[in-house]
Chains A and B, each alone.
Chain A
């Protein structure tokens, strides 16, 4: 059992949907980013996705691209991302942390070394956008062996034939990307998402969380209502990018979490 499994067990007992939030590590600087991160659980966040910045974020829209650039311009590194996680863990032993990003910074560090450090820092799961099941030997299998969940994305193009392959080595939860597109693009309608989630749930016992394009508490409630929870990223990152004070960022997070938890 990882912290992710524990969290879903708790939510099930409480009869609540999961609210997952994404922020970019080191955006706009480490201190602000860490302050936001530390405030997320109290704002109602059940699982934290922490972005590892990368120069070439192929699956991200402008909002998260710019967040990564802000972080990199301030000298953000993998060391600093891991250090943020350690600092967070010093005050929070239960909230799951999922690192999200692209493969090259991990590959560059060396997969074994990265996994050892990630585990030691208190990371529970990984979402690596450019590692489909076809490349499972790279990181997915070693991560599972190291006790870190490898959370896979399923998408509207993941057809029935392919779904078993996508689910095979997935653990923790399944992240359903509700649109064909990049982060921050237009929202999906709950009515379109519901049958897709049902299709995935018929093939796995893992929780299915839906993300991409959710920006308001109402959308969070509607989407979480047809799944096991929802993810909000760009809407939070946009507030951070606009330079809003940490308290205001967290107040908006709380409103979004409230939406998801009301589902």
Chain B
């Protein structure tokens, strides 16, 4: 497409794993040969029909894809403007989009002969998805989870254990998602021969951001044909909206539409208590600046000396001080817009979805929904918004109850 002089937004990353200046391979020498091997094996797998045949089969029979594209009629009527569709990835096995990517990485890991899988998790959804697929294939699974998150996502911790995974509470640093990722990287550096690091979002060193995006792109691909089916051949969404922690569900929805200039793309970051200089938020693009962490260059929450700051959000899944490098690039090129939503706004959207649609959303997509609530009323009725309902709220009911002042202790 013509704007910005860029012919296509879908050709990245380049050979160095860069999206513009973002991305790259900022890892220690010990890991470098491993990520080069991973890149080689992934490049082979992604053009191998038998790899995708295996994926398709499991997506269909194990995950339950395609997930529905659902016209949220009462929500649409309530907001009185744009026509709102929800992409129902919360109906996937394990309750979120995370398993789309996990399946891809685990099938790849098996092809590489790896027997031990490690993962980091924030909300626990990626950890549960990884533990699930490892159980299915009889692989050893170790999940690193910030000690703080272990507390606020207790049901998912128990799920992972039921599935046979070892959950390691991370106390290093400040005991949050970024520290869990540090400890997973430390594990990988130590266990280089048998271990595969299954990263849960479009971050990390190349090829992870591109690989995770490719696996999640099933979301946007399905939306394309599902919308055509429901709205008529060739009908594209006018706006696509998704919440962003690291940015994997968002990249999955956005990527297939990057070269359709009529499609407005909006990513929603976690605004926590508000995006101001008190840093009580996780809005890396709105409140951060470029830096290098976890193997890639991207926008990061950091102090003037380049020390990484802790994010803050009601949603453990969005509590990450960075964002996938492709989003950083889409932001700088102007192809996508990024906004932020506060905890309070997300909580309101959470309740609205429950009452109007009978869908209890996770707190992460509640952020996307809150932005839909902001813009839909001002848009014409023939404007189609697709928001990514990327997770269900079962894991969050305790957090929400607490914020609503409800005592759940029986």
Pairs A-B, 3 closest by C-beta atoms: A108-B306, A105-B306, A181-B190
Q: Is A219 an interface residue (CB 8 A)?
A: no
A102 CA to B304 CA, complexed, in Å: 16
Contact indicator B189/A104 (Cβ below 8 Å): no
Give me 5 A-to-B residue pairs in the complex whose CB atoms sit less than 8 angstroms apart, sorted by A's number. Answer: A59-B28, A77-B305, A157-B33, A177-B30, A180-B189
The smallest beta-carbon distance between A180 and chain B, in angstroms, is 5
Does A236 make an interface contact (CB < 8 A)? no
Q: How far is the CA of A79 from the CA of B307 in the complex (A)?
A: 13
B291 touches A56 (CB 8 A): no
Given contacts A58-B182, A62-B172, A104-B292, is CB(A157)–CB(B305) below 8 Å? no
Given contacts A135-B26, A158-B29, contact A107 B306 (CB under 8 A): yes
Known: A105-B306, A108-B306, A109-B306. A162 touches B33 (CB 8 A): yes
**Smallest CB–CB gap between B109 and chain A, Å?**
18
Q: What's the least CB distance linking B165 to chain A, in Å?
A: 22
**Residues 169 to 208 of chain B near chain A (Cβ within 8 Å):** 172-173, 178-179, 182, 185-186, 189-192
A58-B305 contact given A130-B28, A130-B292, CB 8 Å threshold: no
Contact among B24, B28, B297 with A58 in the assembled complex (CB-CB below 8 Å):
B28
What's the Cα separation between A148 and B173 when bound, in Å?
31
B29:A105 contact, CB within 8 angstroms: no
Contact B28 A103 (CB under 8 A): no
A78–B33 CA distance with the chains assembled, in angstroms: 31
| Contact call B173/A56, Cβ cutoff below 8 A | yes
A185 close to chain B: CB less than 8 A: yes
- The answer on a CB contact under 8 Å between A55 and B173 is yes
A66 to B59, CA, bound (A): 43
Is residue A159 within 8 Å, beta carbon to beta carbon, of the partner chain? yes
Say yes or no for B45: interface residue by CB 8 A criterion: no
The verdict on B68 contacting chain A, using a C-beta distance below 8 Å, is no
With an 8 A cutoff between CB atoms, is B34 at the interface?
yes
Asked if A182 is at the interface of the complex by the 8 Å CB criterion, the answer is yes
Q: In the complex, which residues of chain A have a beta carbon less than 8 angstroms from the beta carbon of B192?
A: 157, 180
Bound complex: CA A78 to CA B307 (Å) = 10
The reply to whether the CB of B347 lies closer than 8 angstroms to some CB of chain A is no
CB-based contact B190/A130 at 8 Å: no
Q: Which of A63-108 contact B (CB under 8 A)?
A: 65, 69, 72, 77-79, 102-108
B248 at the interface (CB under 8 A from A): no
- For A180, the chain B residues whose CB sits under 8 A away are 30, 189-192
The reply to whether B33 and A182 contact each other, CB–CB distance below 8 Å, is no
Tell me the complex Cα distance, A77–B303, Å. 11
Contact surface of B with A, Cβ cutoff 8 Å: 16, 24-34, 172-173, 178-179, 182, 185-186, 189-192, 291-295, 297, 300, 302, 304-308
Please indicate the chain A residues that have their CB under 8 angstroms from the CB of B293 in the complex: 56, 104
Cβ distance B287 to chain A, nearest Cβ, rounded Å? 15
Would you call A154 and B292 a contact (CB within 8 A)? no
- Residues in B with CB closer than 8 Å to A61 are 186
- Across the interface, which residues of B come within 8 angstroms of A162, CB to CB? 32-33
Further 8 A-B residue pairs, CB within 8 A, beyond A58-B186, A182-B186: A58-B27, A106-B306, A130-B26, A134-B16, A135-B24, A155-B28, A162-B32, A182-B190
Q: Give the secondary structure class of B's interface.
A: mixed
In the bound assembly, the distance between CA atoms of A158 and B94 in angstroms comes to: 39
A78 and B26: CB pair below 8 A? no
User: What is the distance, in angstroms, from A142's C-beta to the closest C-beta of chain B?
Assistant: 15
Contacts of A131 in B (CB 8 A): 26
**Nearest chain B CB to A262 CB, angstrom units:** 30
Instruction: Select from chain A the residue with minimum beta-carbon distance to B290.
Output: A107
Closest to A80 in B: B305
Whether the Cβ atoms of A59 and B186 lie closer than 8 Å is yes
Query: Shortest distance in angstroms between B77's beta carbon and chain A's nearest beta carbon?
Result: 47
Most chain B beta-carbon contacts within 10 A, residue among A56, A57, A181 = A56
Asked if A173 is an interface residue, CB under 8 A from chain B, the answer is: no
- B32 touching A132, Cβ below 8 Å: yes
Taking A78-B306, A104-B308, A107-B292 as contacts, is the C-beta distance between A166 and B29 under 8 angstroms? yes
Asked if A47 is at the interface (CB within 8 A of a chain B CB), the reply is no
| A152 adjacent to chain B (CB < 8 Å) | yes
CA separation between A183 and B168, bound complex, in Å? 20
Q: How many angstroms from the CA of A105 to the CA of B308 in the assembled complex?
A: 9
Complex contacts, B307 vs chain A, CB 8 Å: 53-55, 72, 105
* Cross-chain contact B305 with A108 (CB below 8 angstroms): yes
B173: chain A residues within 8 A (beta carbon) = 55-56, 65, 69
Q: A56-B293, A59-B186, A107-B291 are in contact. Are A132 and B34 (CB under 8 A)?
A: no
A134 touches B28 (CB 8 A): no
A103 / chain B contacts, CB cutoff of 8 Å = 26, 292
Q: Which residues in B have their C-beta under 8 angstroms from that of A65?
A: 172-173
User: CA separation between A130 and B191, bound complex, in Å?
Assistant: 18
Whether A181 and B292, one on each chain, are in contact in the complex, defined by CB atoms closer than 8 angstroms, is no
A181 cross-chain contacts in B, Cβ below 8 A: 189-190
A80 to B179, CA, bound (A): 25
Cβ–Cβ < 8 Å partners of A108 in chain B: 291, 302, 304-306
The interface residues of chain A lying within 8 Å CB-to-CB of B179 are: 56
Whole-angstrom distance between the Cβ of B137 and the nearest chain A Cβ? 25
Q: Does A153 contact B (CB under 8 A)?
A: yes
Q: How far is the CA of A77 from the CA of B304 in the complex (A)?
A: 10
The smallest beta-carbon distance between A117 and chain B, in angstroms, is: 13
Q: Is the CB of A154 within 8 A of B29?
A: yes
- Known A56-B182, A104-B308, A108-B305: A152·B190 in contact at CB below 8 Å: no
**Complex alpha-carbon distance, A135 and B292, angstroms:** 12
